[in-house]
Amino acid sequence: MTSRSVYLETFGCQMNELDSELVLGQLRQLGYRLTGEAADADIVLYNTCSVREHAEQKVWSRLGELAIRKKEQPGLVVGVLGCLAERDGTALVKRMPVVDVLCGPGELDKLPSLIDNAVRTRTALLADETPYQRASDRSASQIALQGSASRRSAVLAAAEDSLEMLDLSRSVSPIDPDPDRPRSSAYVRITRGCNKFCTYCVVPFTRGAEIHRPPDHIVDECKRLADAGVIEITLLGQTVNHYRFEHGSAVAVNGVIQPQKGRSYAGGHRRDPFAGEQTTTFADLLARIHEEVPSIQRLRFVTSYPRDFGDDVLEVIRQSPRICRYLHVPAQSGSDRILQMMNRGYTVAEYLEFLDRARQFLDQPEIGRPLMLSGDFIVGFPTETDEDFEATIALMRRARYKNSFIFKYSPRPGTTAINKYKDDVPEAVKRERNTRMLALQNEIGEEIGREQIGREFSVLIEGLSRRETKKRARQAPAPGTVSLTVSARTAPAGEAAADDSACDSGCGSGPKCSSAVVESRPEVATEVSSEPVQLTGRTDGDQIVFLNIPARSESGRTAVSMVGEIVRVRIESAQALGLSAVLL
């Protein structure tokens, strides 16, 4: 057992957030103390993202600061986890000797032993220190990376997959700071990695080949989370609708069924071509979770690949009241020429055909269940002309996303695009296109918001709104106020208008990218005051809703105690950032 303290900061997508949660759970079980303050920590870890350059720069600057701190605290252990570690490998330690531990996203199960070794190595380096060999200038060099070996096998059943143990060992709610208030939402991974090789994207190189987890493991995890009080689960995968587990080829190691490599096929199907008794398709998996874990009131999934989204999945969603009517389906561009250069594998017409089909199945505003879509776009991809861009604008108008994530093309080392195409769209043009798309998205988002006025929805209350949190931060706690930590996130700012500044990174995992310190939670005060409290939550279609609730109701119930609950509301007005509602 150790009494060392660990600080972990997460950059990037939901997949990283989940990885961080699992890693922290594991470290906590081993006796490490978790802290939300980097300055207090003996071990500082960054779970990194390399999808775009912007996300990387933050990590480089954090590491620069730690190099200075390490001169004062040479025993400090610094670790870089995740996609940047995997992509740069040992070159990262050469560039930044302050880094002691390097651990790729496919090797996180090894992290505790890497940290343990690093602590011992640092102690030895300190003992060995000479005026010419300062311990603070030397790395403990504990490294676990998949390297290119991650794609080594085309065999359907992978060999022993030790990373599965990390997901399996999930100690439910490991970092909930408030045991009296179990959190209401959780992520569950169903696939890892990606086989699509979009030419701009590093994910297939950093996260490796597409791997599907055994369905029993996934369902069990959902059950355990539900037993711990979770009512909303988001299934995660880079291309979540590619999920398939072929039981005939399942392999067990030491009695544990192993995850399975994704089989490639031509695509463009309406139903999973391998469906049948021996296979759990994505549609089957959704149906199983919906049926077997009924206390999960909301089941979501991100991110969907627009091709290969079969009617079988749409039918299951339509028939299942607790599966959310929300799809995140990145189009990336509205120009067939650019889509081809991106290797996306579909045309604009095919993409639109899918959206029409999805709407036909799932858009039911008359029963309070409109289908909500969100998208991702890259502007300024090499050779993108004004004409290509106008085609993207036209697609955005046609698709009517409730929100979109718009990124300026960022050439990434190791990708096909950086080697094959010159980054020839000037920065000013990228910026201008980005701004134009954001403006259009805001317009459409507001329009969709206004369509909801007068409608009634169920809303899962997630926490204080950002405005309320800021207000509270400005006010010193009033006498008689009890301080209480709430385990819910605040609404991301400007989600309806997310862009590079609102979303630090992102990989194929989805829209709620944020740079988050996993341990930090908003401090909330339950006060005895008549001033209303602004709470925020989401509809089943993932629209953000603001609610002004009296701090304490006539029955004595506090507004804050509603966090984590699903309530019925009526929409009163719509703004760019979300909908305002009243409680029914």
The contact set with ligand SF4 (CB under 6 A) reads 194, 196-198, 201, 203-204, 238-239, 305, 507-508
Give which of 97, 74, 93, 75 is closest to 84, Cα–Cα.
Answer: 93
Q: What is the dihedral of CA 376, 382, 383, 387, to 10 degrees?
A: 10
Selection from ligand SF4, ligand 5AD, none that 409 binds (CB < 5 to 8 A by kind) is ligand 5AD
For residues 31-60, which are near ligand 5AD according to CB under 6 A? Answer: 51-52
With contacts defined by CB under 6 A, name the span among 159-167, 215-223, 405-413, 540-548 that binds ligand 5AD: 405-413
Angstrom distance (rounded) from CA 504 to CA 13: 9
Shortest gap between Cβ of 425 and ligand 5AD (angstroms)?
12
For residues 426-455, which are near ligand 5AD according to CB under 6 A? Answer: none
Q: Which of 412, 430, 489, 521 binds ligand 5AD (CB under 6 A)?
A: 412
- Report CA-CA distances (Å) from 349 to 239, 328, 421, 504: 20, 18, 25, 31
Selection from ligand SF4, ligand 5AD, none that 22 binds (CB < 5 to 8 A by kind) is none
Selection from ligand SF4, ligand 5AD, none that 196 binds (CB < 5 to 8 A by kind) is ligand SF4
Cβ neighbourhood burial of 39 (10 Å; 0-12, 13-18, 19+): exposed
Selection from ligand SF4, ligand 5AD, none that 52 binds (CB < 5 to 8 A by kind) is ligand 5AD
Read out DSSP for 203-256? HHHHT-S-EE--HHHHHHHHHHHHHTT--EEEEE-TTGGG-EEEGGG--EETTE
Give which of 379, 381, 361 is closest to 371, Cα–Cα.
Answer: 361
Angstrom distance (rounded) from CA 184 to CA 488: 8
Strand 372-379: give its sheet, edge to edge: 326-328, 372-379, 403-408
Does 332 engage in binding with ligand 5AD (CB under 6 A)? yes
Shortest gap between Cβ of 202 and ligand SF4 (angstroms)?
8
Number of alpha carbons in the 13 Å side-chain half-sphere of residue 32 = 26
Shortest gap between Cβ of 496 and ligand 5AD (angstroms)?
17
**Measured from the CB atom, is 410 or 487 closer to ligand 5AD?**
410
CB-CB contact of 432 with 223 (8 Å): no
C-alpha 353 chain-centroid distance: 27
Q: Which of 20, 50, 139, 410 binds ligand 5AD (CB under 6 A)?
A: 410
**Measured from the CB atom, is 42 or 500 closer to ligand 5AD?**
500
Q: Which of 193, 330, 449, 564 binds ligand 5AD (CB under 6 A)?
A: 330
Q: Taking the chain, what is the end-to-end CA distance rounded to the nearest angstrom? A: 51
Q: Which of 407, 489, 549, 567 binds ligand 5AD (CB under 6 A)?
A: 407
Residue in the shown chain whose Cβ atom is closest to ligand SF4: 508
**Measured from the CB atom, is 508 or 522 closer to ligand SF4?**
508
Q: Residue 139 has which token pair? A: 């790395």
Shortest gap between Cβ of 345 and ligand 5AD (angstroms)?
14
CB within 8 Å of 62: residues ≥ 6 apart: 9, 46
Q: Residue 423 has which token pair? A: 């980054």
Does 506 engage in binding with ligand 5AD (CB under 6 A)? yes
With contacts defined by CB under 6 A, name the span among 73-81, 188-196, 385-393, 409-417 that binds ligand 5AD: 409-417
Q: Are strands 532-539 and 456-464 parallel, antiparallel or unpaired?
A: antiparallel
Residue span 455-494 as binding mask against ligand 5AD, x where in contact by CB under 6 A, dash where not: ----------------------------------------
Selection from ligand 5AD, ligand SF4, none that 407 binds (CB < 5 to 8 A by kind) is ligand 5AD
Residues in the interface with ligand 5AD (CB under 6 A) total 15
Does 378 engage in binding with ligand 5AD (CB under 6 A)? yes
3-state secondary structure 507-537: CCCCCCCCCEECCCCCEEEECCCCCEEEEEE
Residues of this chain that bind ligand 5AD (CB under 6 A): 51-52, 200-201, 330, 332, 376, 378, 407, 409-410, 412, 506-508
